Every structure is written in C-alpha cells, then in structure tokens.
Amino acid sequence: MVADGAMGTALYGRGIPFSRSFEELNLSNPELVKDIHRGYASAGAELHETNTFGANRIRLAPHGLDRLVSEINRAGVKIAREAVGGEKWLLGSVGPLGKILKPVGKIDPEEAREIFREQIAALVEGGVDLIILETFTDLREITQALLAAKDVDDVPVIAQMTFTEEGKSLMGDKPAEVVRKLRELGAEIVGANCSVGPQGIYEIMEIMAQADAGYLSAMPNAGMPKMIEGRYMYLSSPEYMAQYARRTVEIGVNIIGGCCGTTPEHIRQIRKMVWGKKPGERTKKGTSHFQFIESTEITAPPEEEKSVRESNFAVNLGKKFLVSVEIDPPRGVDPEKFIQGALYLKGKGVDAINVADSPLARARMSPLVLSHLISEETGIETIMHLSCRDRNILGLQAELMGAQALGIRNILAITGDPPKLGDHPTATGVFDIDSVGLVTLIRNLNNGVDLMGRPIKSRTGFSIGVGVNPTAIDLDYEMNKFARKVEAGAQFAFTQPLFDLKILEDFLKRAEKFEIPIFVGILPLRNFKHAEFMHNEIPEMFVPEHIRKMMFDAGENGPEVGVQIAQKFLLNAKDRVDGVYLMPPFNKFEMAGAVLKVLE
C-alpha cells in the first residue's frame, strides 16, 4: 500500500513559517490543509495522515494552544476525511513530545503516557482508522505512546522510529531491537520514517525485515534538506525515491510513503513503481553497511582499560579548604587579560578558576576555549560551566567530549539564564534538559555509557559540580531540586552569593544530609549602586539592608568596604564550608585577591 507524503514541509512550501503551529491551521485555515490532502489523493495515496503530528499539549503550549488539543486533533481528522473521501485509510499522526523523558529530561513516563492518551483519544473520537506514531528518537518515549494508544481503544498502530546515518536512533536504539520491542508491545505495523533519505531507510528496513515477520512500513525523507535562497529544499527526485521504494518492497516492506520534502509527484512515481507488487521474501540476507552486535546487554568499558586521571581539585574535595574564583569570558576574541588574571589568582593561592558560560545570557567567548587556554598558559585547573540553555543534547555531549580531550576535568552543570534576560532577547533557549539531566549525562559518560546507558568507547573523568541558591524564594523547591542533583551524581556544590551568615547556617543544616562538599559563594560589592542592583534586579538574590546601608555610607570607598564585608563573611563562614567560590564583579581580579588576604 502507498501512503502520502510530507505535510509540514508542504505547508512550509505554501509560505507557513516553521515558527508557527502547523496543526493550528486545522482551525484557522482548513482549506489550505485540505488542498494538500487532495494533492496526495490525486497522486494515488491510499493512506493519509492527519495534520496532527505536533498536536499534543507540550508542543502546542508555546503557541498558547495547549487547551485546544481535542479541537485541533478532531478538526485534523475531519479535514482529511472531507478531502480524501470515505474509501481511503486515515492515519492519526502522533509525533514525539519535543521534551526528553526522565531521568535525563523533566517528563515522567507516566505523564508522557497521559499526554499521548489525550491526543490519541481525540483522534479516535474524530474517526481515524489507525494511529501512526512517527519520527520518534527514543524507544522509551514511543513505548509510552504505544501503551497510550492501547489504553484508548486498542486502536491499530503503525509505530515508526527515526534513525541516524549510523543506523541507530538518536538515543542509540538499533533497528532490530526496535522492531522486536514494538511488536511485543502490540504494534500491528512497525517501521522507520524521516531519517536520512531513501537509501538510509532502505538499509534500516533490511535489518528490520530480517528480524521480524510482521507488517513493516517505510517513509523516508526526500534526501537531506539544503537552504536555497532562504528556504529549505529537499532535492531527491521522484524517480530516485521510486526506485528505492521498489527495492524496499522487494525486501519485504508492506507500506511505502514519504516524509519531509516528499510531494504528490514523489508519491505518484512511487505508486507507479510499486503498485500491484507483493512484498518480497525475507529470507535474503541484506547488504546493509550497518554493522551491529544485536545484543541488549549493556557493558561499560573496564576501568583498567579506560582509566582517567582525576583532577587535583577533585582529589582534594572535602580534604582541604579550596578556593575557586570565577572569570567571565571576554565579549570579544582577545583572552590575554583573562589569562593574566588567572595567573595573578594562581599566585594568590587559588586552586581553580571557574569559567562562566555567558552568564545572564550575554554572549561571550566559549567557556571551553577559555578554560583550555587558561589551563595551558597558567597551569591552574579550571571548572568549566556548561549551560543547557544554548545546546541540545547532541551539543552537550559534543562539548563534554571536547572538554575531556582538552584535559578539562571539572564541570559545573547549570540550566542557564533564559535568553530574554540577555543582549539577544529574541534568541531561542534550547533547554532539552535541565541541570539535573546534565548531571545524569556527565555521570553516565564517566561510567562509560551514553545518555541512554549504552556503552561508549571510553570513559570521561569529570568531577561534577552544581549550583544551589540558599536565598531562593521557594527554598523547599530549591532543596528538592538540589536533592535530585545529588541523587543524579553531583559531587560538590557552589552556592549563589551570600551576605548573611544566618542564611548560610540554615541552609547548611538542611543540606547536611547530602554529604557533598559545599562552597560558599561570596561576591565583593563595588558600591551602593551595585548592591541595589544585585538585591533588586538579579532574580532571587538577597543583599541585607544593613549591607546596602554600609555600601551607601561608603561613598567613593565602595570597593574597599565591599572587600571588607566579603573578608568578614569569609572568616565567619570558613569553618562551616569546604571552600569558597569568589565572584569578583566585572572581572576585577584584584578584588578577589584582596579578599583572600584574610586566609594568609
């Protein structure tokens, strides 16, 4: 049977930007959606997907549409049925949530199942014949979607995952594992879609066909996209896709369609090539270039084979009072001042330099680059901040691999300030995961496995730090998140800047059960204006009134008084914590050096 082609890229080709909810068009412009369905019907498609791929409450929420899940999905079914008639098969399209499941992400599996159930129920109420789960990258997530479909009405399901050019899903799931698992869960049809184009999907289907005797489906992209004159274009010709469709049928696949970039003409040529053909026998061994060891057993690299040296900072954690000073990377490309600042701080007895990651969402030099330059030029260890704001999971793993290769051994895992706070407020925050998920990722890499617990070729050797804010407005929530960070694998913590010893003492009592080294954050104030800004404009920052008055009274002597306040706080806190985390304002390294004189 022949399925239809792309909906999203077809709408994009009609001038609808990717920033808009394509699914909302079911309500605001049903004739546009209906016209695309008609095009595929005229091309000979027998199976038609509703325009509901992202019509779950998570994906609709950024557009303010999360309360319209039922309306949008039922409208999508109605539009498709009116466009193609009663003789065609309607597939209720369900895509992934766009958020990662715990323990790395924030979504509980049970919550994901309920979100999928809500969407699928609306599609079934609307009158679809089957549910198609498509473009999933995580076997755990598609499992929840499949269970949700069976919860609703035991509706028949096509379950498709997407794979990389390495022949695995983004989460490392292999085709044979996928088809076995989804079949066990009750999927009537299993397959692959999107991914790397006709050739890549063909080779994935070879593996699935050899592993399974049930019905299979394949819906590749029209090759890889290319930006041409400001628009994304897919360049695989209809004839090329049709040739691979024939080959795919010959190895035993039952349903052929298209994903991103496919047009009615692609579907027309595919139908001409495969119509009337029976799926081939599945006894022939394929020629796939993918080489897998088909085992679900997880075995990390032996410690003795992949040993990594701990940083001196990590070795001394909890054994001596350690000093770290933060440096904000330059806004330009010249790091010399910052390298010299690190050299100066090393001479003051500092154990490690914290290298921030574009704090307050203001663009600065890469912390990876500056961390490496400081270590190489000065010999002092660095603690590289790594933010979830600017990188998806692939980017975070790539950054960590690069840090390991460059000899950086200490990471501070942070969620990151939202872009709207910074100098590029229209920038998009990624936030695939938060700091808890990032700690989990780093811990996994240290254990020789990837995000999903699958073996990698070598271990990393990072010490894992996290932030915690004792002055948080909702301290119970903050402590709960701190507990989750520790449970995920955090090995030490830095507090936000503190000015009140009582707040520190109360926090330490609550944090005592976590049994990890804690560094108190200290920020020497420059003047009254600085104190007022910190207290009133930085989220959840608290500068006591008497401190602000002292800075007001200091006048032009603000920096000296700020240092004196920080020195006194450091002396009072020293015996209560495992180290100090100094944050000199505006990279005034000499202020950090002045504060540290009290430790001489």
Tens of pLDDT, residues 173-184: 889 999 999 999
Please name the helix (run of DSSP H) or strand (run of DSSP E) that holds residue 441, with its range, or none.
Answer: helix 435-446
Please name the helix (run of DSSP H) or strand (run of DSSP E) that holds residue 363, with its range, or none.
Answer: none
Cα gap 536→528, rounded to integer Å = 12
- Nearest one of 130, 237, 235 to 186, comparing CA atoms: 130
pLDDT of 5 > 90? The answer is yes
Q: Tell me which of 3.40.50.300, 3.20.20.330, 3.40.50.720, 3.10.20.580 is the CATH number of domain 8-274.
A: 3.20.20.330
Domain 321-599: state its class.
alpha beta
Cα gap 533→538, rounded to integer Å = 7
Q: What percentage of the chain has pLDDT greater than the value 70? A: 93
One-letter amino acid identity for 463?
Answer: S
Please name the helix (run of DSSP H) or strand (run of DSSP E) that holds residue 197, with its range, or none.
Answer: none
Alpha helices per DSSP H over 69-189: 69-84, 109-126, 139-153, 175-184
Q: What are phi and psi of 390, to 5 degrees?
A: -105, -5
Q: What is the pLDDT of residue 498?
A: 97
- Check if the beta carbon of residue 466 is closer than 8 Å to that of residue 435: yes
Structure tokens at 127: 């009158």
Give the mean model confidence (pLDDT) for residues 83-105: 92
Q: What is the pLDDT of residue 421?
A: 64
Query: pLDDT of 31-58, one tens digit each?
Result: 999 999 999 999 999 999 999 999 999 9
Q: What is the pLDDT of residue 225?
A: 75
Q: Where are the domains of the chain?
A: 8-274, 321-599
What count of Cα atoms within 13 Å lies in the side-chain half-sphere of residue 259? 28
pLDDT of 119 > 80? The answer is yes
One-letter amino acid identity for 208?
Answer: M
- Nearest one of 349, 308, 302, 306 to 325, comparing CA atoms: 349
Structure tokens at 563: 């240092």
Give the mean model confidence (pLDDT) for residues 501-523: 96
Q: Name which residue leads in pLDDT, 451 or 435.
A: 435
Query: pLDDT of 364-413, one tens digit each?
Result: 999 999 999 999 999 999 999 999 999 988 899 999 999 999 999 999 99
Structure tokens at 405: 């290769």
Q: What is the pLDDT of residue 296?
A: 38
Comparing 8-274 with 321-599, is the CATH topology the same? yes
Cα–Cα distances in angstroms (integers) from residue 319 to residues 264, 516, 585, in the given order: 68, 12, 29
